Amino acid sequence: MLHLRLIVPAARTEEATAVLESCPGVTNIVVLPGAAREPRGDVVLCDAARESANEVLGRLAWLRTEGSIAAEQVDLSLSEAADVAVEEAPGEPDDAVVWAELAQRVSADSRVTWSYLVFLTIATLLVGIGVLQNSLVLIVGAMVLGPEFGAVAAVCFGLLRGDGRLIVSALRTLVVGFVAAIAIAYACALAAYWLGWFGPGDIGGHEEVQFIVKPDRWSFVVALLAGAAGVLSITAGKSTALIGVFISVTTVPAAGYVAVSLAVQELREVGGSISQLALNLLGMSVAGTLTLLVQRRFWPQVGRRSSL
């Protein structure tokens, strides 16, 4: 369930509570008259099943400008009334997408941040070392560390809503992130090459990692499956499934391969790596957008348009 805290202008408290009382899946409604100071108003508390959240937030959308809405996940609820509310709500909690929550999350993931750049750069460096050492363990670890799927999910959500600003922001985050990570990894690889730590023969001859520079139809299929699974893991809050998505796609490995290939002027390997990177990003974006479209269009408990 979700716990909602509303700050409502005193003149519209009855209207807000009437909405809560009429929505299936809402319970534990509490009104604290005059408790809010900034903004001023009454505080209304309630618990709502995830399946009902879109309807509640949609019908109370006016509070975004006249008051305030905050929601948090309830990890434990020992209440027969709450159990009845969940049963009354349409669908299953794991299938419900709270669109306002998703919009806020992807908006944050669409921005370039220092933590995003650092994680992506470290992951790319690890891949470069993994390629030189022929270490699949390092490459897989780097794939888990890569933070790029958040921006991909933002692209998908932007396409779903026709939000050009979100799409541009997310694409800029992907481009800036990968360009910066590849540039730093290239500089480090070039320094190591000049120091004699590795040579041209140390890349391109390891069959175990050649999948990174050899994109094919299966690469696109994997990217499609990973994109669908990634979006489902985000909307359902299944973080363990998202780790599997990171391990499935070869975006970060391709970036790391580009860096070490540039350092030794293996341009053929660079081309294959860039193709792999682009193919994976495209496949995930297509599948992720289609998955969100299906969730909105065909799942009644998820497809409430009121909060979109």
Q: What is the pLDDT of residue 242?
A: 62
| Residue among 46, 45, 49, 53 at smallest CA distance from 85 | 49
**Cα–Cα dist 7/303, whole Å:** 27
pLDDT over 50 at 304, yes or no: no
Higher pLDDT: 198 or 57? It is: 57
Q: What is the pLDDT of residue 26?
A: 93
* Tokens representing residue 47 in the block: 């618990």
Confidence of residue 265 (pLDDT cuts 50, 70, 90): confident
pLDDT over 70 at 202, yes or no: no
pLDDT over 70 at 206, yes or no: no
Q: What is the pLDDT of residue 283?
A: 93
Sign of CA dihedral 45, 49, 50, 55: negative
- Environment class of residue 257 by beta-carbon count within 10 Å: exposed (0-12), middle (13-18) or buried (19+)? buried
Q: SS3 for 4?
A: strand
List, in sequence order, every residue forming a beta bridge with 45; answer none if it has no partner: 5, 30
User: What's the pLDDT tens digit per position in 211-263?
Assistant: 777 788 888 998 999 899 888 888 876 665 566 666 667 888 899 989 988 98
Confidence of residue 210 (pLDDT cuts 50, 70, 90): low
Instruction: Identify residue 187 by its one-letter amino acid code.
Output: A
**Bond preceding residue 253 cis, omega within 30 of 0:** no
What distance, in Å, lies between the first and last C-alpha atoms of the chain?
A: 20
Q: What is the pLDDT of residue 302?
A: 41
Instruction: Identify residue 190 by its one-letter amino acid code.
Output: L
Q: What is the pLDDT of residue 119?
A: 95
Q: Among 69-73, 88-92, 147-151, 248-252, which is the least confidently predicted range? A: 88-92
List, in sequence order, every residue forming a beta bridge with 31; answer none if it has no partner: 44
Query: What integer best gives the mean pLDDT of the chain?
Result: 86
For 237-246, give one letter per residue: b (16+ CB within 10 A) or e: eeeeebeebb
Residue pair 174/281 in contact (Cβ under 8 Å)? The answer is yes
Percent pLDDT > 70 in the chain is 90
Higher pLDDT: 246 or 275? It is: 275
Confidence of residue 308 (pLDDT cuts 50, 70, 90): very low
Percent pLDDT > 90 in the chain is 48
Q: Among 31-35, 210-214, 273-277, 280-284, which is the least confidently predicted range? A: 210-214
pLDDT over 90 at 272, yes or no: no
Confidence of residue 143 (pLDDT cuts 50, 70, 90): confident
Q: What is the pLDDT of residue 58?
A: 92
Q: SS3 for 36?
A: strand
| Residue among 136, 105, 303, 129 at smallest CA distance from 211 | 136
Q: What is the pLDDT of residue 296?
A: 85
